[in-house]
Amino acid sequence: QVQLVESGGGSVQAGESLRLSCAAFGYTYSLGCMGWFRQAPGKEREGVATIYTRDSTPYYADSVKGRFTISLDDAKNTLYLQMNSLKPEDTAMYYCAADFRLARCRPVLGSFVAFDYWGRGTQVTVSS
Protein backbone atom coordinates (compact mmCIF):
# COMPACT_ATOMS: atom_id res chain seq x y z
CA GLN A 1 0.00 0.00 0.00
CA VAL A 2 1.04 3.56 -0.71
CA GLN A 3 -0.26 6.69 0.97
CA LEU A 4 0.06 10.12 -0.63
CA VAL A 5 -0.44 13.47 1.09
CA GLU A 6 -0.51 16.70 -0.90
CA SER A 7 0.16 20.22 0.33
CA GLY A 8 0.89 23.66 -1.06
CA GLY A 9 -2.32 24.64 -2.77
CA GLY A 10 -3.85 28.07 -2.39
CA SER A 11 -5.31 31.11 -4.09
CA VAL A 12 -3.15 33.30 -6.31
CA GLN A 13 -3.44 35.90 -9.03
CA ALA A 14 -2.85 35.10 -12.68
CA GLY A 15 0.85 35.15 -13.49
CA GLU A 16 1.94 34.10 -10.00
CA SER A 17 3.50 30.82 -8.90
CA LEU A 18 2.77 27.95 -6.52
CA ARG A 19 4.65 24.81 -5.57
CA LEU A 20 2.75 21.68 -4.68
CA SER A 21 4.29 18.91 -2.60
CA CYS A 22 3.31 15.28 -2.19
CA ALA A 23 4.74 13.12 0.58
CA ALA A 24 4.68 9.40 -0.12
CA PHE A 25 4.49 6.76 2.60
CA GLY A 26 4.43 2.99 2.69
CA TYR A 27 5.68 0.63 0.01
CA THR A 28 7.28 3.37 -2.07
CA TYR A 29 10.65 1.99 -3.16
CA SER A 30 9.12 -0.10 -5.95
CA LEU A 31 7.05 2.68 -7.44
CA GLY A 32 7.64 3.09 -11.17
CA CYS A 33 5.88 6.36 -11.82
CA MET A 34 4.43 9.31 -9.95
CA GLY A 35 2.41 12.19 -11.25
CA TRP A 36 0.00 15.06 -10.83
CA PHE A 37 -3.57 15.14 -12.07
CA ARG A 38 -6.21 17.83 -11.76
CA GLN A 39 -9.96 18.12 -11.94
CA ALA A 40 -11.91 21.33 -12.38
CA PRO A 41 -15.62 21.56 -11.50
CA GLY A 42 -17.71 20.01 -14.23
CA LYS A 43 -14.71 18.63 -16.06
CA GLU A 44 -13.02 15.28 -16.29
CA ARG A 45 -9.82 14.58 -14.42
CA GLU A 46 -6.75 15.17 -16.56
CA GLY A 47 -3.11 14.32 -16.21
CA VAL A 48 -0.79 17.29 -15.78
CA ALA A 49 2.67 15.78 -15.45
CA THR A 50 4.34 12.46 -14.67
CA ILE A 51 7.85 11.39 -13.77
CA TYR A 52 9.73 8.10 -13.83
CA THR A 53 11.00 7.38 -10.33
CA ARG A 54 14.18 5.67 -11.57
CA ASP A 55 15.63 8.42 -13.74
CA SER A 56 13.26 11.38 -13.22
CA THR A 57 12.26 11.58 -16.90
CA PRO A 58 9.24 13.89 -16.99
CA TYR A 59 6.20 14.06 -19.24
CA TYR A 60 3.84 17.02 -19.46
CA ALA A 61 0.41 17.81 -20.78
CA ASP A 62 0.56 20.31 -23.63
CA SER A 63 -1.44 22.81 -21.60
CA VAL A 64 1.31 23.16 -18.96
CA LYS A 65 4.51 22.67 -20.96
CA GLY A 66 6.97 25.47 -20.31
CA ARG A 67 5.10 26.62 -17.20
CA PHE A 68 5.05 23.61 -14.84
CA THR A 69 7.96 21.51 -13.65
CA ILE A 70 7.63 18.13 -11.95
CA SER A 71 10.45 16.84 -9.76
CA LEU A 72 11.15 14.07 -7.27
CA ASP A 73 13.27 14.06 -4.13
CA ASP A 74 14.04 10.39 -3.52
CA ALA A 75 15.65 11.00 -0.16
CA LYS A 76 12.49 12.66 1.14
CA ASN A 77 10.02 10.48 -0.80
CA THR A 78 8.47 13.72 -1.94
CA LEU A 79 7.08 14.74 -5.31
CA TYR A 80 6.84 18.39 -6.34
CA LEU A 81 5.03 20.43 -8.95
CA GLN A 82 6.37 23.92 -9.52
CA MET A 83 3.69 25.96 -11.26
CA ASN A 84 4.68 29.26 -12.82
CA SER A 85 2.74 31.78 -14.91
CA LEU A 86 -0.52 30.43 -13.54
CA LYS A 87 -3.70 31.05 -15.50
CA PRO A 88 -7.35 31.07 -14.39
CA GLU A 89 -7.85 27.87 -16.40
CA ASP A 90 -5.36 26.14 -14.09
CA THR A 91 -7.93 26.38 -11.30
CA ALA A 92 -8.70 22.85 -10.11
CA MET A 93 -8.24 20.28 -7.39
CA TYR A 94 -4.76 18.84 -7.86
CA TYR A 95 -4.10 15.22 -7.00
CA CYS A 96 -0.85 13.40 -6.47
CA ALA A 97 -0.78 9.89 -7.91
CA ALA A 98 1.54 6.90 -7.96
CA ASP A 99 1.77 3.55 -9.69
CA PHE A 100 4.14 0.59 -9.73
CA ARG A 101 3.85 0.29 -13.52
CA LEU A 102 6.42 2.25 -15.53
CA ALA A 103 4.11 2.42 -18.53
CA ARG A 104 1.72 4.71 -16.67
CA CYS A 105 4.17 7.56 -17.09
CA ARG A 106 3.85 7.87 -20.84
CA PRO A 107 0.75 9.57 -22.25
CA VAL A 108 -1.45 7.58 -24.59
CA LEU A 109 -2.89 9.57 -27.50
CA GLY A 110 -2.03 12.72 -25.59
CA SER A 111 -3.68 11.71 -22.32
CA PHE A 112 -2.40 10.13 -19.12
CA VAL A 113 -4.03 6.94 -17.89
CA ALA A 114 -5.30 6.78 -14.31
CA PHE A 115 -2.89 5.57 -11.63
CA ASP A 116 -3.53 3.10 -8.82
CA TYR A 117 -2.80 5.29 -5.79
CA TRP A 118 -4.17 8.74 -5.08
CA GLY A 119 -3.91 11.50 -2.54
CA ARG A 120 -6.91 13.46 -1.34
CA GLY A 121 -6.03 16.55 -3.34
CA THR A 122 -5.14 20.18 -2.78
CA GLN A 123 -7.09 23.10 -4.22
CA VAL A 124 -5.47 25.62 -6.55
CA THR A 125 -7.44 28.74 -7.43
CA VAL A 126 -6.14 31.32 -9.89
CA SER A 127 -8.01 34.58 -10.28
CA SER A 128 -7.66 37.03 -13.15
pLDDT at 120: 98
Tens digit of each residue's pLDDT (9 = 90 or more) over 42-87: 999 999 999 999 999 999 999 999 999 999 998 889 999 999 999 9
Q: Distance between CA atoms of 53 and 41, rounded to whole angstroms?
A: 30
pLDDT at 110: 83
Is 13 a residue whose pLDDT tops 90?
yes
Report the Cα 23 to chain-centroid distance in Å.
Answer: 12
d(CA 98, CA 22): 10
Percent of the chain with pLDDT over 70: 100
Burial of 25-45, coded b for 16+ CB within 10 Å and e otherwise, reads: eeebeebebbbbbbeeeeeeb
- What is the percent of the chain where pLDDT is above 90? 88
